[in-house]
Amino acid sequence: MLDDLAIKVRQNIGLATAIGLFGILYLLYNMAHPKGFSSAVLVQNGNEIFALAMLAMAQTVPVLASGLDLSVGAVMTMVGCVASYLLAGTVGGTPLHLEIFGLHLGLGTFPGGTGGIMLGMAVCVAIGSLAGFVNGCVVVYGRIQPIIATLATGAVYIGIALFLRPTPGGKIDEDVNWALTNSLGDFAATVHIFDDGAAAWFTPLAWIPVPFVLLALISLLVWVPFRRSVLGRAVYAVGSAEGAAYMSGLPIARAKIAAFTLAGFFAGCGGLFLAIQTSSGNADIPQAGAYTLNSIASVVIGGTSLLGGTGSAIGSIFGAMILRVISFFFRIFDIAPLLQPLFEGLILLTAVSIGALGVLRVKNTLELFR
Amino acid sequence: MTTVTLGLSRDDRPILIAALFIFVILVAGTVYTFARFGSAPLLSPTYLLQQLQVGAFLGIVSAGMMLVILIAQIDLSVPWTLAAAAMMATSIGGPLAIPVGLGVGLLVGIVNGIGVAYLRVPSMIFTLGVNAVMRGLMVAHTGGYAPQTAATELMRTLAADRTLGIPNALFVWAAVSVLVVVVLQRTPLGRYIYAIGNKESAAYLAGINTRGVTVVCFALCGLAAALTGVLLAGYSTKAYQGMGDTYLLPSIAAVVIGGTNILGGRGRYLGTLVGVVLIVLLNSVLSIMEMPEAGRQVIYGLVIILMLLVYGRGERITS
Amino acid sequence: MQDAVPTEPAFLKLAGISKRYAGVRALDGIDFACERGKIHAVLGENGAGKSTLIKIIAGVVQPDAGTMCLAGNQVSFATPSAANAAGVVCIFQELSLMPDLSVADNISIAAPPRRFGLIDARAQRRRAEELLAGIGCEDVNPLMRVRDLPLSRRQVVEIAKALGKRPQLLILDEATSALTSADVEKVYVMLARLKAEGVAILYISHRMHEVEALADRASVFRNGRHIETFDWGARSTADIVQLMIGRDIAAQYPAKPARKPVTPVLALEHLSWEKHLDRISLSVGAGEIVGLGGLDGQGQKSLLLALFGVLRGVTGRITANNREARLGSPAAAMSVGIALVPEDRKTEGLMLPMSITDNLTIASLGAISTGPFVDRAKERTTVTRSISRLQIKIGAPSDAVSNLSGGNQQKVVLAKWLMTEPRIILLNDPTRGIDVGTKQELYRLMRELADQGAAILFYSTDYDELIGCCDRVAIMYDGRIVRELEGEELTETNIITSSLNVHAATPATAGATHA
């Protein structure tokens, strides 16, 4: 029994480290913050963490299959721009039109009201998943290396985002914005459930920020079942030893496509939230690039190996949170904004180099070359 | 192994296809300009030379990137190495400007090399970190604004002026290209680079100093990025924030379009040259067509995918 | 040749199976049959077509021609899982395990027990425990990652995985190569049980004693053709070898020179490393071929790696050419004239996609360079000379080395090292997976090199080779050299007893079978 526990701990040391590190950092942060440990700060943090956490989850799945997805930031941006059209929530519906090459295209009216908003969200997430699916197909059937394939598709998606929103704009229903970017109590009050948030059993939970709840729900309802499914395990198998996976009769093509589709799904969720949070759609190319690169950093810090086969999306979430908390620190310690990028860079470099210490213990140099 | 049509080797095919595509771009562009403006600027030597001059910058960065990709690594620190070299060169000024700028690139490259070769941190993540550090250093150094100091005379001459009617930048690009080709084709170092990219363990057991070669490749890539930065600063007469950001992905794309395998070990420099020319011309044709950024991005992405599909794809892993 | 008539109807029947690979006929009109409840040995040298045959039966590759019938029905397997579905399960030489997944995951990888659509981890673990107990290997914890297990345990897991697929036809392709002798006994027990249950078993192994212990029937293949099938016992070992190589084996090993005093070129004193090497003292002289023997995994490979500068933290003294050598890297070893022909030519000896020329010259570019540039003319002459000296069969020097057969690839590796003009040559199981013809060429070459003054340290898992080629054999056990045998003492019995670290006084183990 203890034997098994020891084995499990050793296998998950990366995840445990990430969680532990995050715990310490966040504790310190709240202690140093004048309004630490308050719901307001938690909510603000939650809003700032969610998108990157989602993108970290997105990046994890292709990495597990020993690939990489350089389009996650672009998918996020594209879906955000779509959301800025579909989530306006006006009662009579939103007329949709696009300007392309000087042509004005009328695309009918998207339903409004609550039903419309739900439909809009579903469509956004579906588009993200579709983008991921396309990535998967290009990699599997085009037999193009993931890093280059997603580099190219990312350009296409960012282009689509630019078509949709050449300049930032759009409108998100205010209620949606309010409900999803605050605490559970506010959510309940806006959506009129649980007695508008006054129900006795509910009040102890009312302080929990919605973004964290969403994060937990998405992890529990999507990631955990996927990980335990045959297809999810096939993704790990493909990343660990693709040849052996083929010999074992695993559905390699399906696993890879599923990995990229899931990445698109998570990235879509991130983009949807970002649009809701900022109440607009913004086709910001540098921001998309920064998110993509930060998602890779989050994955590494969260304990997933870039070589594939081991790791977890949960670890990547913590990796993302660690990255974000570090930038929070800059705020409260009033580090000169000029020095912030330098510190971020140094911390990132140190974090990824720490894993290198294991290298020094290797006694057979052949083992260094995988 | 089945031979390809025309008896071309596997490495030559992408180069030919890319060259063909350049031709297609030129033709399509000319048709467009003829229809729209009644002229064919794409075919005018002045225009082409001008484009090549701009292409020289991407070309030099791509040359460095190719070396790193050949050893199955990647260098994501190019954007801020480039910018840092430019900023330091303009800050220092005087006769030391260019050496200092190049020194920055060399130093960054060596650090990258050590991190990847000795610490065995995956290059993707290590160079990412280094990029962030360089950005941090430059932001702190310049106060976040574009540095006010100007590029030196020499920098401007190298980047913007012409000798015998040909832009000097092209001569620099040519010199870099000759160096790369000679190293890759004629020297032991070149063989070592391909060997490491193919199978580092076998290269190591053949007595090759694989870690040393890795450091050299990253150093050369850093140097190339720095050279580009210095030239760019000369071209625009000063350095500015984020000047290197638009060079990273196109340089990777140019290398790959040129037929170099992103996993390393295979590729010819001629392909990278052709890849650079292709991207530059594509960009300029799209400019002439006044294609909005949105369309450019989509076309850029589709072109890369199309080229790679046509080159013949990777092998299906069955064992 | 008349095949002995089987007493049961054939379970698996192949007719006219042919397969070509890029101009080489791997299989040529094979007719083959095996029955239920019998262990059928498949014998033949590498290049005989055994692996291709197995791959076709197991669904990994498709034949170009011919038919396959299973229990009377014609079948054709497009993928390994199709074969598995029909009850055909193969345990391959290259393991089909995912190192980062647990043992339990690997065993039930394709069709795990499920609950609510998701994998039932507990049931999966129980299943793994049952299957491992079925081969008597309960010591493997199903939660362990395969990566953390030693090779022998991994092979056990592979066997358990195959059993879990409920095979009707079980194929073992060198499935015991890494097992300890205790495990091999367990495998014998398991196979006996399967036999009794009516499973048809195909057994491929180069270890004649294993085949002797197990086989009911045997088929010999040579050069892609089925030569003969017979009941075990109908043919003597010498006959079988004759069938396998098609010619008289008497002159297999080159003559050894008379023993004379030698000047040591390589001397080791108290060489130690981690737990794998324990105060090794050995010397090899010019003109000597010294063999390393003993059971697998007693430190022989580590010793060779230590002598080539690959290992860190080696203590003890190494003297090469009368000077103490500090071997911190392969380059350092090469500079004192040491060469290592590594264990796995595909990942350690060759850059497969690169040309034959590139592979041949990669270790000696300094010698063919003028100034900073490689001299193409010198390169061409050296390459041509190498190819003809070792008689490497190639198309053109610019072809990729991956096109060559295993034997020729190994020749390229050897030629590469000979180009560095080494004085000390280390060979790490060089004849593994090589056809008999090439093996003989290699033996002759080794003796030639020794006669020219080289000192050769030769590790082989084949006792015949050690006896046939070596002037002296050092038997290793647990990282130490327990005995050195030469001259009259160099016999198989002595090798075996020394390998088991048994003192001559104990009779019980004197004739024991071994791994």
Domain assignment present for B6: no
Which residue in the block uniquely carries the two structure tokens 């030129």? B26
pLDDT category at B279 given cuts 50, 70, 90 is: very high
Compute the distance between CA of residue C190 and CA of residue A54 in angstroms, rounded to an integer. Answer: 50
Which of B125, B137, B200 shows the shortest C-beta gap to A342?
B137
Amino acid (1-letter code) at residue C34: C
Ranges for all domains in chain C classified under CATH 3.40.50.300: 10-245, 251-337+422-515
Q: A310, C348: Cβ pair inside 8 Å?
A: no
pLDDT at A92: 66
Q: Which residues of B226-236 are buried (b: 16+ CB within 10 A; e: fewer)?
A: bbbbbbbbbbb
Q: C362, B195: Cβ pair inside 8 Å?
A: yes
Collect all residues of chain B within an 8 Å Cβ-Cβ radius of residue C308: 205
Amino acid (1-letter code) at residue B283: N
Q: Is C10 left (phi over 0), alpha (psi -120 to 50) or beta?
A: beta
Sign of CA pseudo-dihedral C108, C90, C438, C471: positive
Domain assignment present for B16: no
| CA C206 to centroid of chain Cα atoms | 9
Amino acid (1-letter code) at residue C137: C
Pick the range with the lowest mean pLDDT from B44-48, B262-266, C195-199, C511-515.
C511-515
Backbone φ and ψ of C438, nearest 5°:
-65, -35
Residue in B153, B109, B115 with CA at minimum distance from that of residue B134: B109
Collect all residues of chain B within an 8 Å Cβ-Cβ radius of residue C343: none
Name the helix (H) or strand (E) containing C503. none
A residues 26-55 closer than 8 Å to C (CB): none
Burial of A102 (0-12, 13-18, 19+ CB in 10 A): exposed
Burial of C229 (0-12, 13-18, 19+ CB in 10 A): buried
Average pLDDT, chain B: 88
Mean pLDDT, residues C219-232 taken together:
88
Q: How many alpha carbons lie under 13 Å from residue A301 in its C-beta half-sphere?
A: 29
Does residue C497 have a pLDDT over 50? Answer: yes
Does residue A96 have a pLDDT over 80? Answer: no
pLDDT at B319: 39
Q: C310, B205: Cβ pair inside 8 Å?
A: yes
Token reading at B309: 């599909």
Compute the distance between CA of residue B67 and CA of residue B60 in angstroms, rounded to an integer. Answer: 11
CB-based contact (8 Å) between A300 and chain B? Answer: yes
Compute the distance between CA of residue A289 and CA of residue A76 in angstroms, rounded to an integer. Answer: 11
Compute the distance between CA of residue C175 and CA of residue C515 in angstroms, rounded to an integer. Answer: 12
Which of B182, B198, B201 shows the shortest C-beta gap to C354?
B198
Q: C351, B1: Cβ pair inside 8 Å?
A: no
Higher per-residue pLDDT: A262 or C222: A262
A residues 315-344 closer than 8 Å to B (CB): 337-344
Compute the distance between CA of residue A233 and CA of residue B156 in angstroms, rounded to an integer. Answer: 58
pLDDT category at C182 given cuts 50, 70, 90 is: confident
Burial of A81 (0-12, 13-18, 19+ CB in 10 A): buried
Higher per-residue pLDDT: A97 or B169: B169
CB-based contact (8 Å) between B75 and chain A? Answer: no
Q: DSSP letter for B6, please.
A: G
pLDDT at A115: 80
Q: A248, C305: Cβ pair inside 8 Å?
A: no
Q: A152, B302: Cβ pair inside 8 Å?
A: yes
Residue in C476, C146, C66 with CA at minimum distance from that of residue C290: C476
Q: What is the pLDDT of residues C461-492, one digit of tens each?
A: 777 888 889 999 999 988 899 999 988 888 87
Q: Which CATH number fits domain C251-337+422-515: 3.40.50.10800, 3.40.50.300, 3.30.470.20, 3.40.50.2300?
A: 3.40.50.300
- Number of Cβ pairs closer than 8 Å across A and B? 170
Q: C98, A240: Cβ pair inside 8 Å?
A: yes
pLDDT category at C7 given cuts 50, 70, 90 is: low
Compute the distance between CA of residue B147 and CA of residue B89 in angstroms, rounded to an integer. Answer: 11
C residues 329-358 closer than 8 Å to B (CB): 329-331, 333-334, 340, 342, 347-354, 358
Which residue in the block uniquely carries the two structure tokens 């080289």? C454
Compute the distance between CA of residue C408 and CA of residue C359 in angstroms, rounded to an integer. Answer: 13
Mean pLDDT, residues A136-158 taken together:
94
Compute the distance between CA of residue C388 and CA of residue B32 in angstroms, rounded to an integer. Answer: 60
Between strands C369-370 and C373-374, the pairing is antiparallel
Catalogue the E-assigned strands of C235-368: 264-273, 277-285, 289-293, 315-320, 323-324, 338-341
Q: How many domains does chain B have?
A: 1
Amino acid (1-letter code) at residue C208: M
pLDDT at C260: 76
pLDDT category at C2 given cuts 50, 70, 90 is: very low
Token reading at C4: 């002995």
Token reading at C2: 């008349």
Does residue C208 have a pLDDT over 90? Answer: no
Q: Which residues of C401-422 are buried (b: 16+ CB within 10 A; e: fewer)?
A: bebbbbbbbbbbbbbbbbbbeb
Average pLDDT, chain C: 86
Q: DSSP letter for B246, please.
A: G
Does residue C506 have a pLDDT over 50? Answer: no
Q: C363, B206: Cβ pair inside 8 Å?
A: yes
Any bridge partners for residue B169, and if so which?
A: none
Amino acid (1-letter code) at residue A167: T
Name the helix (H) or strand (E) containing C212. helix C208-214
Which of C22, C310, C353 shows the shortest C-beta gap to B266?
C353
Any bridge partners for residue C267, and if so which?
A: C283, C319
Q: What is the pLDDT of residues A178-203, one digit of tens each?
A: 888 888 888 888 877 777 767 777 77
Class of domain C10-245: alpha beta
How close C109 gets to chain A, by Cα (Å)? Answer: 7
Q: What is the pLDDT of residues A281-311, one digit of tens each?
A: 999 998 998 899 899 989 988 989 888 899 9
Mutate to test the interface with C, among B199, B200, B213, B315 (most CBs of C within 10 A): B199
Does residue C402 have a pLDDT over 60? Answer: yes
Compute the distance between CA of residue B86 and CA of residue B100 in angstroms, rounded to an integer. Answer: 9
Token reading at C38: 């019998």
CB within 8 Å of B296: residues ≥ 6 apart: A159, B283, B286
Compute the distance between CA of residue B310 and CA of residue B290 in angstroms, rounded to an integer. Answer: 28
How close C311 gets to chain B, by Cα (Å)? Answer: 12
Mark out chain B residues that contact chain C at CB-CB < 8 A: 1, 182, 186-188, 191-192, 194-195, 198-199, 201-209, 265-266, 318-319
pLDDT at A129: 97
Domain assignment present for B105: yes
pLDDT at A355: 67
Pick the range with the lowest mean pLDDT from A92-106, C129-143, C312-326.
A92-106
Compute the distance between CA of residue C303 and CA of residue C284 in angstroms, rounded to an integer. Answer: 13
Any bridge partners for residue C266, and if so which?
A: C284, C320
pLDDT at B3: 35
Sign of CA pseudo-dihedral A223, A227, A230, A233: positive
pLDDT at C4: 53
Collect all residues of chain B within an 8 Å Cβ-Cβ radius of residue C358: 191, 194-195
Does residue B7 have a pLDDT over 50? Answer: no
Does residue C249 have a pLDDT over 60? Answer: no
Higher per-residue pLDDT: A125 or A177: A125
Amino acid (1-letter code) at residue C428: N
Token reading at A134: 């396309």
Mutate to test the interface with C, among B178, B189, B191 (most CBs of C within 10 A): B191
Compute the distance between CA of residue C200 and CA of residue C195 in angstroms, rounded to an integer. Answer: 7
Higher per-residue pLDDT: C44 or C199: C199
A317 and B115 Cβ atoms separated by less than 8 Å: no
Segments forming the whole domain that contains residue B128: 52-274
Compute the distance between CA of residue B227 and CA of residue C366 in angstroms, rounded to an integer. Answer: 31
Q: What is the pLDDT of residues B148-182, one digit of tens each?
A: 777 788 888 888 888 887 888 999 999 999 999 99
Q: What is the pLDDT of residues B62-103, one digit of tens each?
A: 999 999 999 999 999 999 999 999 999 988 888 888 999 999
Backbone φ and ψ of B148, nearest 5°:
-85, -20
Does residue B205 have a pLDDT over 90? Answer: yes
Q: What is the pLDDT of residues C117-127, one digit of tens each?
A: 899 999 999 99
Q: DSSP letter for B96, please.
A: G
Q: C374, B207: Cβ pair inside 8 Å?
A: no
B277 and B26 Cβ atoms separated by less than 8 Å: no
Collect all residues of chain B within an 8 Å Cβ-Cβ radius of residue C331: 207-209
- How many helices (H) and strands (E) are present in chain A, helices listed first? 18, 2
How close A8 gets to chain C, by Cα (Å)? Answer: 8
Q: How many alpha carbons lie under 13 Å from residue C383 in its C-beta half-sphere?
A: 22
Q: C350, B209: Cβ pair inside 8 Å?
A: no
pLDDT at C513: 38
Compute the distance between CA of residue B141 and CA of residue B147 in angstroms, rounded to an integer. Answer: 9
The gap between the terminal CA atoms of chain C, to the nearest Å, is: 33
Mutate to test the interface with A, among C54, C61, C96, C98 (most CBs of A within 10 A): C98
Distances (CA, A) of A182 to A36, A45, A202: 17, 11, 16
Name the helix (H) or strand (E) containing C475. strand C472-477
pLDDT at C3: 53
Q: What is the pLDDT of residues C54-79, one digit of tens each?
A: 989 998 889 999 999 998 889 999 98
Mutate to test the interface with A, among C79, C88, C101, C139 (most CBs of A within 10 A): C101
Q: C374, B186: Cβ pair inside 8 Å?
A: yes
Distances (CA, A) of A49 to A200, A271, A334, B180: 30, 13, 20, 45
Q: A366, C92: Cβ pair inside 8 Å?
A: no
Token reading at C268: 């080791």
pLDDT at C507: 41
Any bridge partners for residue C308, and if so which?
A: none
pLDDT at A118: 87
Does residue B183 have a pLDDT over 90? Answer: yes
CA torsion, ordered A148, A152, A153, A158, to nearest 10 deg? 130
pLDDT at C170: 95
Pick the range with the lowest mean pLDDT from A46-50, C177-181, C335-339, C384-388.
C177-181
pLDDT at B1: 40
B246 and B83 Cβ atoms separated by less than 8 Å: no
Pick the range with the lowest mean pLDDT from A218-222, B11-15, C42-46, C386-390.
C42-46
